[in-house]
Structure 1
Amino acid sequence: MQRYSRTAIFLHWAIAALLAFQIAVGWALEDLGARGFALYQLHKSVGITVLALTLARIGVRYWKPRPAKLEGGWQGALASGVHIGLYAFMLGAPLTGWALVSTAKVKVPTLIFGVIPLPHLPLPAAAHGVAENGHGLLAWLGIALVALHVAGALRHHLLIRDGLIWRMVPGRSTALLVALPALILVGFVAGRAILPAPQATPAPIAAEPADETAPANIAEAVNAAAPADNAAANATQATADEPVDPPPAWTVQPGGRIGFSVGNDGETISGSFSKWTANIVMDPDHPDSADIAVTIDMASASVGDAYKDGMLPGDEFFGVAAHPTATFVAKGAEATGPNAYRARGTLTLKGVSKPQTIRFTLSGKDETGKDATRKVSGSATIARAPFGVGTGDSSGGLGPQVALTFAFTAKRQD
């Protein structure tokens, strides 16, 4: 009996196993939210692999024609229709998935297995609904076609006994007859095995105040100063009333850092901004003289992951296209302890301005000359919801508060 080539046999079973994996994973993706981010990237990578293998299978089909049909009539026509449908599924499912990603509102970059970048298709945003519905419909049609294909193979092998199935098994090996179809089950089980464990229902969270000072209140609660600090603050305030010289300006030196972190379903996502500037005027002995202005280039945000970094500039997070920078300005500060200060100001992010408090400490010699330097380190806690950061489905597991930290060295200008 004429058989398929070994290349065709390999492609047949490899595609079958990968499709089983895709079906197992695809069923769960919609309900995983942010927890399924990495799995979603794997799903896209395997989908493009299926597309490439299917194109190779079509090429082999014309390079080495398949064996002749063993059955005619309506049964043969049905078998041919199922084969055509399977090819349409193997091509259409990856292509509609690619179109779905390319037309999504949140542009998530795709790196095939984290290495090869896949460009977005040049499709209009209006095509997103068609791609999404088509992808889901093809998945169900594919499952039905695979079931028909398997039923037909079993019919030929167990009822008709015409040996048709041996055309896809090298050497008529009984061991391979068992092992190769088992790959499909292995693919499905592997897809289910890598799914994240079900998430426990979190305890109810008390509603946050709706007033405009909510972010400042949260920061105050997290960073509340010890009562013993009040004496030092009052003493400094008393001296602040005395006449003083104009406060010095400070130049931020290279090498500083502004970092951020946020909880994500029990884990922590940490990143930083690589581009930012700060204008600082302040006499540490008279903190009420402080004039602080910080500008952050939001496009410079990175969490060290190419997929997630590609999402940060989008509207779901920082909306960089419309709001390329974020600013924090504060007039005056107050001492909370030895070399420790608190500044209440205004944070503007994504076009929204809200009260925000930062806390910082100064270290270094108490110099007054031109080369005087101080090391600055501090933190803030920012409620992301009032600024519209993390509003989409992929942000469902993010914590409500973002921890901000900063550290840099500043040189005094005289």
Structure 2
Amino acid sequence: MPQRYSLIAIILHWAIAALLAFQIAVGWALEDLGARGFSLYQLHKSVGMTILALTLVRIAVRYWKPRPAKLEGGWQGALASGVHVGLYAFMLGAPLTGWALVSTAKVKVPTLLFGILPLPHLPLPAASHALAENGHGLLAWIGIALFLLHVAGALRHHFLMGDGLIWRMVPGRSAVLLVALPALILGGFVAGRAILPAPQAKPAPAPMVQEADNEVEAANVAQAEAVNAAAPAENAAANIMQAATEQPVGPPPAWTVQPGGHIGFSVGNDGEAIKGSFAKWTAAIVMDPDHPDSADIRVTIDMASASVGDAYKDGMLPGDEFFGVAAHPTATFVAKGAEATGPNRYRASGTLTLKGVSKPQAIRFTLSGKNGTAKDATRKVSGSATIARQSFGVGNGDSSTGLTPQVALTFDFTAKRKE
């Protein structure tokens, strides 16, 4: 009866095989998923680093524990040895080239292994990105070929030669394990396919020439900016009615924003929505609600405080593809004057400066609460804005292709009148 491998070697063998099958199933689909595959891309990296770690342990065990002697010589034995060496090279090379690929990518996507352990980028030049990318893809195909050769060799020994070689990787010559352990590989592949998002339905092609398609896309990008640039005509009557016949008495009151306010944002992403918020921001507000033309509003947002609740994506937001925090740490909205659009409803047209670009921007908001005395007057403020992100260069890279042109901004807070 052939000598068996050690139990730890057997466990590592089947665990790595199942993880490789999972990686193949997921890796095939990643390129076509675009932004929808972001979370799977992070899982793919985490599993890849796990394979790298287990392979290093497997190599150590290979020289620590005695290995069974070869059962076959000649060119068949040389081929089997070559396949084994190739598989080890693949199990080391694929994760390493993948690590190099993300380390040299233009968009620096942070890696947290399984959302917990940060993986630093390798100190490699950006010029090596193409080499890493091509190498990773080539190794994947080579690995699949070696994987199939290894399986074919095991089946040959078990069914054609009947030498019992396959029992060296099955504890206790258990027939149940002989079926269950290879089934782990199939299970890994099925699991990888099962977690892929469902394919999106493709809309029927519209009978348009390419120039018309480009025009529609340009219109979508400009839609939010056009809304900000001009007031709707239906507000004209309300604005005229709101104008007071008498002049305000004294300067307009200033307001202090109370703790607990919220500024949030939402953007579409391939049919889904990415929602986030800014943890740090300040607002200086001067306004008499009865005379909105007296308003003087300035809001400053700390862009480094942006979060969407996902460590991977949060790590991307400060980069040049999105907010460019290193060069532009804050965004500001400034408006002089506002106009009433209905009872306790207002619109302020001002200027938004984001990522070094200044564009016209409008916000709409409502006030609730009573004036009270100067000591206890408080107002609850809630409102929204639509921002054309591409006008400010936000989302200008490959990972942003699935994002909608418009970003919905919402805010709510309580302001107390200063004495």
Shorter-normalised TM-score: what interval? Answer: over 0.9
Give the secondary-structure state (helix, strand or coil) at the position aligned to 2:352. strand
Provide structure 2 residue ranges, at least 5 long, that are not aligned to the other structure. Answer: 207-212
Alignment of 1:34-73 (within 5 A): 34-73=35-74
In the alignment, is residue 151 of structure 1 matched against residue 152 of structure 2? yes
CA distance in 2, matches of 1:177, 1:208: 57
Is residue 253–residue 409 contact of structure 1 (8 Å, CA) maintained in 2? yes
Q: Which residue of 1 aligns with 2:415?
A: 410
Q: Does 1:237 align with 2:246?
A: no
Q: Do the aligned partners of residues 99 and 209 (structure 1) sit closer, same or farther apart at CA in structure 2, a change above 3 Å counting?
A: closer
Is 1:253 aligned with 2:258? yes
Residues 373-412 of structure 1 mapped to structure 2, 5 A cutoff: 373-412=378-417
1:83 aligns with 2:84: yes
CA RMSD of aligned residues (A): 2.3
| AA partner of residue 234 (structure 1) | I
- Matching residue of 2:139: 138
The 5 Å alignment of 1:258-337 reads 258-337=263-342
Q: What is the CA distance between 1:370 and its match in structure 2? A: 4.5
Q: Give the secondary structure class of the aligned counterpart of 1:251.
A: strand
- 1:224 to partner: Cα distance: 5.9
Q: How far apart are the structure 2 equivalents of 1:38 and 1:46?
A: 12
Q: Give the structure 1 partner of residue 5 of structure 2.
A: 4
AA in 1 matched with 2:258? Q
* 3-state SS in 2 of match to 1:347: strand
Aligned with 2:227 (options 218, 221, 242): 218
Deviation at 1:298, TM superposition (A): 0.6
Give, as a single letter, the amino acid of the residue that structure 1 aligns with 2:136: H
Q: Which amino acid aligns with 2:152?
A: A
Alpha-carbon distance in structure 2 between the residues aligned to 1:29 and 1:199: 14
1:212 and 1:137 map into 2 onto residues whose CA distance is 39
Name the CA distance, whole Å, in 1 between partners of 2:119 and 2:144.
27
Shift of the 251–145 alpha-carbon distance from structure 1 to 2, 3 Å rule, reads same
Letter paired with 2:243? Q
Which residue of structure 1 lines up, in the alignment, with residue 216 of structure 2?
A: 207
Q: Letter of the 1:376 partner, please give it.
A: V
Is the CA contact (8 Å cut-off) linking 1:248 and 1:281 kept in structure 2? yes
How many Å apart are 1:160 and its aligned residue?
2.5
Question: Could you give the per-residue CA deviations for residues 82-137 of structure 1, whole angstroms, max 9, x where no partner exists?
Answer: 11110010011111111212222222222222222222223232232222111111
Task: Give the drift of 1:25.
Answer: 0.4
**Separation in structure 1 between the aligned mates of residue 257 and residue 225 of structure 2, nearest angstrom:** 26
Residues 213 and 355, structure 1, Cα contact 8 Å, conserved in 2: no
> 5+ unaligned residues in a row in structure 1: which ranges?
none
Q: Distance in 2 between matches of 1:368 and 1:231?
A: 31
Deviation at 1:405, TM superposition (A): 0.8
Q: Give the letter aligned to residue 324 of structure 1.
A: P
1:113 alignment partner AA:
F
Give the letter for the 1:2 counterpart.
Q
Cα distance change, pair 239–301 in 1 and its aligned pair in 2 (3 A): farther
Going from structure 1 to structure 2, the CA distance change for 1:369 and 1:29 (only over 3 Å counts) comes to same
Deviations 1:179-238 (A, max 9, x none): 2222211111111111111111247787266699753433589x969x5x6544212224
Cα distance, 1:190–1:243 mapped onto 2, change above 3 Å: closer
TM-score by length of 2: 0.91
Are residues 1:361 and 2:361 paired? no
Runs of 4+ in structure 1 off by over 6 angstroms are 203-206, 210-213
Mapped contact 1:213–1:354 kept (Cα < 8 A): no
**Alignment-mate amino acid for residue 314 of structure 1:** G
CA separation in 1, counterparts of 2:100 and 2:222?
43
1:104 maps to which residue? Answer: 105
Letter of the 2:239 partner, please give it: A
8 Å Cα contact 1:212-1:354 kept in structure 2: no
Aligned-pair CA distance for 1:33: 0.8
Measure, in 1, the Cα distance between the counterparts of 2:195 and 2:365. Answer: 43
Note if contact 2:220-2:405 (Cα within 8 Å) is conserved in structure 1.
Answer: no
Compute the TM-score of the two structures, normalised by the length of structure 1: 0.92
Residue in 1 that maps onto 2:183: 182
**3-state DSSP class of the match of 1:367?**
coil
AA partner of residue 237 (structure 1): A
User: For structure 1, which segment, 9-18 or 390-399, has the greater mean C-alpha deviation from structure 2 after superposition?
Assistant: 390-399
* Cα distance change, pair 82–361 in 1 and its aligned pair in 2 (3 A): same
